[in-house]
């Protein structure tokens, strides 16, 4: 994980800032690329340019963006100040859209629709039923799912449960149901790609 945030009370998953552009990381990434391995990128949305740089420099290496780019605080306040106002949340949403649109132009990038109920998005404290239900979750994540499907296409998207991290905020049937509701407008083929085919292809899974 490379998650680092300027808000000191937003959880960090990386050891240092700008780790994806550090010399030691890039040396290791070059070895990964040479071996035709898949790289999983876990970053906050303000760090997406680091992933864009990697995708541009290594066009033959598949990069899976975890948790759809984690726009921390987009649904509500977290940390000391992140997402504290409606204007701040609108800015997080706008910047996420812009950066994801740019990232989509690199065909070696795949988006994992995971972490849809992560507390870091601003749902509030971890507690059972925090989100409320499938309809509420569908309404909240719908614009994000639509943006990803529109720009990446269902053949570059896969589902991930992120369980048990998301469990306090939403049961697995709520997560899956909300995403199915969002994706159904693109038909059964898109559903099959997102919930099966993309992962089989990207990870080289045995279908037997």
> For the segment 56-106, what is each residue's pLDDT rounded down to a tens digit?
999 999 999 999 999 999 999 989 999 999 999 999 999 999 999 999 999
13 found inside a domain: no
123 found inside a domain: yes
Q: What's the domain count of the chain?
A: 1
181 found inside a domain: yes
- Report pTM: 0.92
Interval 169-186 mean pLDDT: 94
130 found inside a domain: yes
Mean pLDDT lowest among 1-5, 109-113, 164-168: 1-5
103 found inside a domain: yes
Domain membership of residue 119 as a residue range: 19-203
* pLDDT recorded at residue 125: 59
9 found inside a domain: no
> For the segment 145-171, what is each residue's pLDDT rounded down to a tens digit?
999 999 999 999 999 989 888 887 888
Higher pLDDT, 24 or 110: 110
Interval 22-44 mean pLDDT: 95
> For the segment 116-132, what is each residue's pLDDT rounded down to a tens digit?
999 889 886 554 446 77
176 found inside a domain: yes
CATH of the domain at 40: 3.20.20.140
**What would the 3-class secondary structure string for 104-163 be?**
HCCCCEEEEECCCCCHHHCCCCCCCCCCCCHHHHHHHHHHHHHHHHHHHCHHHEEECCCC
Peptide bond just before 168 cis, omega within 30 deg? no
* pLDDT recorded at residue 128: 47
2 found inside a domain: no
């Amino acid at each position: 994980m490379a998650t680092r945030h300027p808000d000191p009370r937003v959880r960090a998953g990386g050891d240092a800032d700008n780790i994806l552009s550090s010399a030691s990381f890039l040396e290791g990434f070059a070895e990964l690329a040479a071996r035709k391995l898949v790289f999983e990128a876990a970053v906050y949305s303000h760090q997406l340019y680091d992933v864009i740089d990697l995708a541009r420099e290594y066009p033959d290496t598949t990069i899976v963006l975890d948790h759809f780019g984690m726009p921390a605080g987009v649904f509500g306040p977290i940390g000391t100040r992140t997402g504290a106002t409606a204007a701040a949340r609108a800015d997080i949403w706008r910047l996420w859209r812009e950066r994801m649109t740019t990232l989509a132009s690199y065909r070696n990038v795949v988006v994992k629709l995971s972490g849809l109920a992560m507390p870091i998005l601003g749902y509030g404290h971890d507690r059972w039923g925090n989100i409320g239900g499938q309809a509420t979750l569908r309404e909240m994540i719908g614009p994000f799912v639509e943006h990803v499907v529109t720009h990446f296409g269902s053949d570059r998207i896969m589902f991930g449960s992120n369980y048990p991290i998301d469990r306090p905020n939403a049961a697995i049937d709520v997560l899956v149901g909300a995403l199915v509701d969002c994706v159904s407008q693109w038909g059964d083929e898109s559903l099959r790609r997102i919930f099966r085919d993309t992962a089989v292809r990207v990870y080289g899974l045995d279908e037997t």
